[in-house]
């Protein structure tokens, strides 16, 4: 019953460093999403994917890149981390079109110093 698994759970970066967050789902979902959660702002969509090999920008894509080389994995990259990217990052997946339930991972807490 793994569902959506995110790694790592915690990370501390220095400004300018790079890192990749990994999301893996075992539900054979077509759609995957990356959100960031900040105090008082709810969750905001960074990027999403509607299938293997596809990606699209969400509400707050600047400073992030993503890749979906395999259907079960969705990677979020920070090429040059900034303090403004300190946040909790959530990955989610769903079967697809509007109205379908999204299943979330447990989150990655990232601090950029």
Partner 1 sequence: GDSVTQMEGPVTLSEEAFLTINCTYTATGYPSLFWYVQYPGEGLQLLLKATKADDKGSNKGFEATYRKETTSFHLEKGSVQVSDSAVYFCALSDRNTGTASKLTFGTGTRLQVTL
Please, which residue, 69 or 101, has the CB nearer to partner 1? Answer: 101
Q: Is 56 in the site for partner 1 (CB under 8 A)?
A: yes
Burial class (CB in 10 A: 0-12, 13-18, 19+), 6: buried
Q: What's the Cα-to-Cα distance from 105 to each of 4, 61, 72, 97, rounded to whole Å?
A: 5, 20, 13, 20
Provide the minimum distance between the beta carbon of 17 and partner 1 in the complex, in angstroms, as a whole number.
Answer: 25
Helix (H) or strand (E) holding 45: strand 43-49
Binding range to partner 1, per CB under 8 A, among 15-23, 33-41, 67-75, 76-84: 33-41
Q: Contact residues for partner 1 (CB under 8 A)?
A: 4, 31, 33, 40-45, 48, 50, 56, 58, 90, 92, 94, 96-107
């Amino acid at each position: 019953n793994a569902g959506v698994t995110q790694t790592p759970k915690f990370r501390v970066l220095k400004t300018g460093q790079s890192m990749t967050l990994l999301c893996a789902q075992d539900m054979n979902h077509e759609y995957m999403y990356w959100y960031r959660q900040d105090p008082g702002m709810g969750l905001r969509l960074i990027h999403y994917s509607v299938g293997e090999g596809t990606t699209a920008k969400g509400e707050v894509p600047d400073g992030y890149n993503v890749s979906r080389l395999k259907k079960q994995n969705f990677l979020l990259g920070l090429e040059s981390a900034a303090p403004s990217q300190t946040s909790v990052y959530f990955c989610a997946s769903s079967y697809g079109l509007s109205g379908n339930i999204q299943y979330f991972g447990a989150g990655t807490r990232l601090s950029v110093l």
